[in-house]
Amino acid sequence: MKNLIIFDMDGTLLDCETLDVLAQEFNVEDQVKEITAQAMNGDIDFEEALQRRLAFLKDFPKKKLLKIIDNLPLMPGAKELIKKLKQVGYKTAIITGGYGIVARKIAKKLDIDTYLANDLEIKNKKLTGDFRLNVNGNKDILLNKLKKKFQANFTVAIGDGANDIPMLNAADLGIAFCAKPVVNKKIKKKITQKNLLNVLKLIELNKGLNN
């Protein structure tokens, strides 16, 4: 039996929202956090939220961005969970509405097999405020592509925001992790404690640790 686990990144693998952290550097934290909250609760379109937040970060230096990424806090239990699942043969992936430049670093740090993310546009070593949209409301489609790629028989998906709901519903086991109210209303399996190791118990109960 081949198993695959897919994580959202911000608020799931990371104990923060990347854009909110970057916004602190530009002193626009309150404005960006408000848009982030609206997007995660499903109150505004994800792409619109991305555009509005990135506009605040135009001309942000790439060098400074990379330094901040190196210091983003991992969610408690992230390393231990992934290590355990890889030991029993799980393939691991990130599907995030966040950015490839961040997801690449986090995937490397956690030994995650692959990632799908949006791409920030960088020119002259600075953010332009533009991006290429690869991941929006299509996380369910992307999950199925990865399922086919890895020939997985059992899929687990973990996320916290409204844009994760299609992915959580598409998985054999969808887990709302410290999620927004709109997610908790629609997803049966929930974890409310901020430690990803709690995922193991749910996977075991759903027989997802069988090889």
- What residues act catalytically? 8, 10
Q: What single-letter amino acid sits at 80?
A: E
**Cα(50)–Cα(34) distance, rounded to whole angstroms?**
12
Q: Residue 131: phi, psi to the nearest 5?
A: -160, 165
Give DSSP secondary structure letters for 61-121. Answer: BHHHHHHHHHTPPBPTTHHHHHHHHHHTT-EEEEEEEEEHHHHHHHHHHHT-SEEEEEEEE
Retrieve residue 202's tokens.
């749910």
**Residue 49: strand, helix, or coil:** helix
Q: How many Å apart are CA 67 and CA 5, to the nearest integer?
A: 28
Residue 15, CA distances (Å) to 85, 129, 149 in order: 20, 24, 29
